[in-house]
Amino acid sequence: MKGVWLVFPSTQKFSHKFNLGVIGLLGVLMLGLIVGCSNSGNKGSSAVAATPSPAAANLAENTETRIISTIKGDIEIPAHPKKVAGMLYVFADHLLALGIEPHAMVTYNDLGFPEYLADQMKDTIAIGSGEAPNLEALLESEPDLILASKTLNEENYEQLSRIAPTILFDNENEEDWTRFRQTAEIFGKEAEADQIHADYEAKIAKVRDKLAAAAPNETVAYMRIQDKQLQLIQPGDNFTLFGPLGRTPASTERIDFKDSWNVAISEEVLPELNPDRMFIILRPGDSNQTALDNIMNTSIWANLTAVKNNHVYIGDANLWFAGYGPIGLSKVIDEISGAYVPEI
């Protein structure tokens, strides 16, 4: 019912008899208006009820839920999540590979979103880094589902769960395809995930054959500069792709990794390794670049086989270390392939 205003001049004087007449007439008029508007409103309500609006349909869809099993037990989540937040940057790769733009996402070591994904995340809300998430920003983003990491988020799981339903993933699956498949299952995209995985395996096989033909007997070492230290990456670490790509690691018999995926080494160890090819992964930062420059200016460096043959390649840590998803892994494979057999 629209508001109906009856305006009276405040200075007008009426006789007592006239006032009663006017009041009676106004009472009849008001009653008619109320009844008419009430009937009109009822008719309108019937019409709306008969034809639900798109907003009402969306509301119904978004309030539909289902139960899933997680490492924290069974939890209730939206049946069709629309505003997904990720507490580990790898979730951005997984979601985008499945055609889902993240609603909110932690950044990679305070360096922003991984550069190789940034153009697909223009509308994604940054919520701090994985190591130091901004829970206030997360709350303000109003997610309807949160994807989190056991290693980084188990301590604040209850806080996250109060913001939105939170699925805690076990990081033991970080470097294989299990977590990607689990993510796909949440959104009913198992078929898409299986196809993406199949395409990846086909690409691995193709590049492996290509490298075997181009450099059948060569050795390779993967290293990084971190905190101004030269670190050797464990050959068994999945991201190096030694096994999948059929590459032979440089001798590491004297290196004790102590169950770690990397170990700091001095430049004096390099001649013993003496790989045919070296991939050095560099994190952004002047101190890391300076440390690498200092190593490159030594005679030890100059006499390495890979250096003499110009087979040293610098990789961006924003891709190599953040790219555990299908998109990032595919790009790393492209870089490795191009290092052995440059595309013309």
Question: Do 64-188 and 215-340 share a fold?
Answer: yes
Task: Determine the pLDDT at residue 12.
Answer: 36
E-strand ranges in 108-218 read 125-129, 145-149, 166-169
Q: Is the dihedral of CA 10, 16, 18, 22 positive or negative?
A: positive
Between residues 207 and 16, which one has the greater pLDDT? 207
Task: Determine the pLDDT at residue 173.
Answer: 58
Task: Determine the pLDDT at residue 275.
Answer: 95
CA distances from residue 28 to 16, 18, 32, 38, 40 in whole angstroms, order as listed: 19, 16, 6, 15, 18
- Which of 61-75, 125-139, 245-259, 269-283 shows the lowest per-residue confidence on average (mean pLDDT)? 245-259
Place of tokens 């799981």: 157
Please count the CA atoms within 13 angstroms of the CA of 173 that sit on its side-chain side: 14
Which option is the CATH number for 215-340: 3.30.465.10, 3.40.50.1980, 3.40.50.720, 3.10.300.10?
Answer: 3.40.50.1980
Q: Where are the domains of the chain?
A: 64-188, 215-340
- Which of 1-15, 107-121, 122-136 shows the lowest per-residue confidence on average (mean pLDDT)? 1-15
On the question of pLDDT at 82 being above 80, the answer is: yes
Average pLDDT over residues 188-192: 97
Residues 197-254: tens digit of each pLDDT:
999 999 999 999 999 999 999 999 999 998 888 999 887 666 567 788 989 888 767 7
- Which of 31-35, 147-151, 261-265 shows the lowest per-residue confidence on average (mean pLDDT)? 31-35
CATH of region 64-188: 3.40.50.1980
